[in-house]
């Protein structure tokens, strides 16, 4: 591979600089930059789906042999790197990822881009515009390139308020688990829950104090660094991290929890999910993701790369629970259209919406779609087609012009309204937290409890959940009231709460047998 080989545009890699961003100046030529280059699989990942839509259960070895990158493709990228004076930091055929590093000037020349420094909403980032370019000889080898642009990619789906209003409903995670009839035969022992975090951190003393207050043992929590990210408590993102740990651990205190910390960029997010899915040390059975952004904020190559990482997780027997967003059907956009949040909209995610939950005497008295002080995300995907397992769920047309019928989001729901929220401890302070960020780790905890009863984890559960809906098995609590702006809750699946909130014991019975 020679530096003089003709370059072609990498399909789906186009980026724009937001009009409101301020140009600061060029990137320093000697700045060190790392990029993650994802390669095409040996054969189309679509062949990994059975007719029902459920992926085959595979080992990591069989996945690598069938869907990993070809050795000659890895060698081709390594040759390209050498020709441009770039260092090969990592080559992993199973992950289909080659990590390259070099000076900003060398990396920009290698990929045919111009890099600049910008500021947007008080945040500085390295940005690019237009498409990435790669040698024509690697056009059928390289699928995506991430890390040239490091702008903030995702938002935490969490809402925090001080614990000061005695008239507001507040629940601990075990209380929520009790209201939803979670299985009581285990505590998640033997399971490992992965959490994806793009900032913030946890303090062990806070966790110990919190779980002691709940009269539960503190779960074993381990931090895993991705792309230089780490456990760094001390900012507002701590709320997200502590919420995820305390909800998942409050439901399944016997499970181990691994927190994958990565920078908040498309590269960091994709690499974190990839590393979690292919983690051969911790062997996760469930992953919870509480971060995301409207589909329109992602490049096509990033949507594809992350979707394939989530798909690989399903194939390997990992259930991936993802928050659907906290800003209703517009999802923090300003174009007047309805949007769904990604990665909740991945067909291989268990998208988790939010509800408002009231109870009396240990029983649920009412539950509606969350629509005040925020609202549950949900709607119809513009990026992903209708999956086979949603064909009979009466997915409605999109509220946008054209009425597209695509992947419906979310799949399930749980309490997320901060006004009927979770009691959480963050940086020494107790508060009440809501957001679909709470629904995702709650469902992850339930899956861990179910997996504890099994030899093999349940894995990608969406087809089974929808099949049980079709045969009218009572595995979820149907939510029929409320809205998220463009969509309304109603009988059966809806674009606010999906199939509904969990009935834990019935979910376990449906997924085990």
Q: Mind telling me the catalytic residues?
A: 240, 244, 437
To which residue do tokens 């104090």 refer?
Answer: 209
| Residue 455, burial from CB neighbour count under 10 angstroms (0-12, 13-18, 19+) | exposed
Taken in order 14, 17, 23, 24, the sign of the CA dihedral is negative
DSSP-assigned letter for residue 87: E
Chain centroid to CA 318: 13
| Residue 183, burial from CB neighbour count under 10 angstroms (0-12, 13-18, 19+) | middle
DSSP-assigned letter for residue 49: B
Q: What angle do CA 298, 299, 305 make, to 5 degrees?
A: 95
Whole-angstrom Cα distance, residue 83 to residue 80? 5
Long-range contacts of 486-492 (CB under 8 A, 24+ apart): 486/328, 486/329, 486/330, 486/338, 486/379, 486/399, 487/329, 487/338, 487/378, 487/379, 487/396, 487/399, 488/369, 489/368, 489/369, 492/393, 492/394
Whole-angstrom Cα distance, residue 421 to residue 432? 6
Whole-angstrom Cα distance, residue 61 to residue 418? 43
Chain centroid to CA 512: 25
Selection from 250, 252, 269 nearest residue 260 by Cα = 269
């Amino acid at each position: 591979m020679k530096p003089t080989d003709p370059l072609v545009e990498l399909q789906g890699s186009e980026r724009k600089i937001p009009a409101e961003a301020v140009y600061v100046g060029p990137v320093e030529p000697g700045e060190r930059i790392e990029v993650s280059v994802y390669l095409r699989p040996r054969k189309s990942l679509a062949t990994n789906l059975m007719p029902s839509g459920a992926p085959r259960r595979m080992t990591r070895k069989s996945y690598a042999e069938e869907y990993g990158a070809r050795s000659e493709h890895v060698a081709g990228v390594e040759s390209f790197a050498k020709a441009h004076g770039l260092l090969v930091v990592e080559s992993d055929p199973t992950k289909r990822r080659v990590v390259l590093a070099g000076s900003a000037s060398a990396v920009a020349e290698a990929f045919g881009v111009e890099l600049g420094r910008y500021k947007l909403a008080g945040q500085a980032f390295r940005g690019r515009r237009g498409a990435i370019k790669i040698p024509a000889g690697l056009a059928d080898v390289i699928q995506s390139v991430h890390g040239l642009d490091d702008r903030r990619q995702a938002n935490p789906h969490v809402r925090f308020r001080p614990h000061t209003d005695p008239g507001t409903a507040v629940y601990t995670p075990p209380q929520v688990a009790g209201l939803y009839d979670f299985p009581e035969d285990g505590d998640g022992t033997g399971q490992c829950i992965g959490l994806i975090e793009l900032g913030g951190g946890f303090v062990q003393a806070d966790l110990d104090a919190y779980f002691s207050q709940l009269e539960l043992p503190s779960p074993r929590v381990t931090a895993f660094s991705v792309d230089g990210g780490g456990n760094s408590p001390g900012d507002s993102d701590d709320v997200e991290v502590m919420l995820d740990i305390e909800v998942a651990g409050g439901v399944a205190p016997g499970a181990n929890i691994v927190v994958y910390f990565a920078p908040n960029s498309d590269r960091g997010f994709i690499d974190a999910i990839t590393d979690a899915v292919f983690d051969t040390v911790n062997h996760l059975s469930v992953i919870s993701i509480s971060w995301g952004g409207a589909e329109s904020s992602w490049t096509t190559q990033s949507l594809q790369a992350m979707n394939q990482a989530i798909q690989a997780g399903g194939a390997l027997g990992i259930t991936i629970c993802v928050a659907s967003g906290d800003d209703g059907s517009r999802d923090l956009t300003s174009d007047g259209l309805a949007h769904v949040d990604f990665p909740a909209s991945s067909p291989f995610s268990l998208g988790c919406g939010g509800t408002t939950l009231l109870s009396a005497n240990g029983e649920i008295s009412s539950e509606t779609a969350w629509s005040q002080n925020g609202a549950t995300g949900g709607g119809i995907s513009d990026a992903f087609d209708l999956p086979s397992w949603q064909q009979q769920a009466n997915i409605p047309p999109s509220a946008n012009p054209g009425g597209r019928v695509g992947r419906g989001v979310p799949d399930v729901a749980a309490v997320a309204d901060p006004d009927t929220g979770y009691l959480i401890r963050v940086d020494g302070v107790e508060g009440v937290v809501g957001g679909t960020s709470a629904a995702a780790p709650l469902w992850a905890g339930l899956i861990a409890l179910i997996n504890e009863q099994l030899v093999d984890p349940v894995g990608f559960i969406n087809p089974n959940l929808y099949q049980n809906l079709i045969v009218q098995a009572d595995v979820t609590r149907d939510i029929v009231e409320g809205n998220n702006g463009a969509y309304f809750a109603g009988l059966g699946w809806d674009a606010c709460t999906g199939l509904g909130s969990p009935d834990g014991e019935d979910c376990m019975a449906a997924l085990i047998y």
